[in-house]
Amino acid sequence: MIILIYPKYVGGKFIANCLALSRHCVIQNRQLAEMDMKLNHTNEKYYQFKLNAVMQSLPKKDDMQNWSEYEFGCNDLYGVDENFYENNSIKTLRSEIEKLTVFDLLKGKRESCLIAHDYRTLMKYLLLHRTAKIIEFCNFDQFRAQSMRLKGSVKPETYEFTRHHHYQDQEFYQLESFMIDVDNTFRDFVTFSAMMEKLYRYMGFDDYHSEILYPFYSSYMELHQ
């Protein structure tokens, strides 16, 4: 399990999709995940399938306001999302998670990404998924402001509230994680690629291919100009 913790609009789903280009990690979509697990990853067409799949998560340039209708998410893969974790006790969650068949499907075979937007929810995740690896995000103000402008309006006080609490909690918990510096890595592919290669190594993935990543990266960044 890979848990990504970040305030909205900083590119967390983008990173989840970049990880899903590996044969070791499934896309956040149940149907595509099942297809992935049936394919022969030694076939030359396998990584093209992965690339085509994540490209489906990108909206058209003139439809960025409806970006959420395109992207994949936890609900698409697991059948539940962070609201499920937020609104239930640990006791209830332990019982209900056992009913989610996707965990049996993936166990010991593939990694998958789970998204959290606040540290309180993350703490619940970690009680239930104790061996999960964590990805945190920092230095994201420039990219986040541009994303919010393109994808929809957010009140300034809401922006500052979530930003403040994210950094406050990040400093408080001091988790063992892989930290992504958004504004210093996202805008240049050479820098971004070097960071992703390190992230693949951190996750134990041995199949980083910059030539597979680049078409997805360039399409995503073009949308965020």
Run means of pLDDT, 10 residues per run, the chain, 225 residues: 95 98 97 94 90 96 90 94 92 91 90 96 94 97 92 70 90 97 98 98 97 98 95
Q: Which two tokens stand for residue 112?
A: 């998958």
Q: 156 lies in which domain range?
A: 2-223
In whole angstroms, give the CA distance from residue 156 to residue 89: 32
The CATH number covering residue 67 comes to 3.40.50
Query: How many domains are there within the chain?
Result: 1
Predicted pLDDT of residue 153 = 65
The closest alpha carbon to 182, from 220, 216, 217, 136, belongs to 136
Tell me the residue ranges of DSSP E strands in the chain: 2-5, 113-116, 133-138, 178-181
- pLDDT attached to residue 155: 67
Give the helix, strand, coil percentages of the chain, each rounded to 5.
Answer: 55, 10, 35
What pLDDT is attached to residue 23?
96
> What pLDDT is recorded for position 156?
64
Strand partners, 114: 3
Whose structure tokens read 């093209």? 48
Residue 211: CB atoms within 10 Å: 9
CA–CA separation, 8 and 14 (whole Å): 12
AA letter at 187? R
Model-level pTM? 0.95
Which residues, other chains included, contact 183 with Cβ-Cβ below 8 Å and sequence gap of 6+?
Answer: 139, 140, 141, 142, 143
Q: Outline where DSSP puts E strands in 82-132.
A: 113-116
For residue 154, the model assigns a pLDDT of: 66
